[in-house]
Amino acid sequence: SVSLPPNFRAEPAFDPGMLANRDETLLPRPMDPRAIKKERGRYFGLISHIDSQLALLIEFIEDRGQLDRTVIFMTAGTGLCLGAHGLLGKQIMYDDAVKVPLIMRGPGIRPGLTSHALVHLMDLMPTMCDVAGVQIPSSVQGRTLTPIMAGRRRAHRSAVFGYYRDLFRMVRTGHHKLIHHLKTG
């Protein structure tokens, strides 16, 4: 059985300025917990489908004897609130939307390693260059994750930043997070 998020609300605590966005209009308000469970079930079903497709890809690579030479990165651009904080979509700086998975496997990646390092999706391109032995262009703002992947370093960034249009700014450190809602302060 699919559960409600622990921070479920039928309505948001305040209007974050994007309640008219497509994602936020998919269900009527106040949100019915049964409808949220159904949407979360669909979402988890899609995640399970992606997992099974990734397993097929890994099997394909392994069958060709190339798995020990292949680095696989799996991530997502954003998450969805799906009832958390009284919201449905991704256009917000809450962890439900911005804290996404990043899973890696392959040579140079310590098996079983879990990291809580602050990373940004822009770190993937220089990481891929580094893993492939290609020079990282000097214009790239991201930083390679290879020391984290190998278990040689625990920290990567002291903070990560995010924004959404003219509504939100966000900074997260290892222990704190500040979300500034530009319309309400």
What are 104's strand-pairing partners? 73
39 neighbors 27 (Cβ within 8 angstroms): yes
Q: Exposed (0-12), middle (13-18) or buried (19+): which is 85, by Cβ within 10 Å? A: buried
- State the virtual CA torsion across 138, 161, 169, 137 in degrees, nearest 10: 10
**Per-residue pLDDT at 79:** 85
**Per-residue pLDDT at 69:** 93
**Per-residue pLDDT at 183:** 86
**Per-residue pLDDT at 137:** 94
Regions of the chain where pLDDT drops below 50: none
10 neighbors 30 (Cβ within 8 angstroms): yes
**Per-residue pLDDT at 101:** 87
What's the CA gap between 184 and 47, in Å, rounded? 35
What's the CA gap between 85 and 13, in Å, rounded? 7
150 neighbors 106 (Cβ within 8 angstroms): no
**Per-residue pLDDT at 123:** 96
Reported as type and span, the H/E element at residue 112 is none
**Per-residue pLDDT at 81:** 94
**Taking the model in full, what pTM does it have?**
0.84
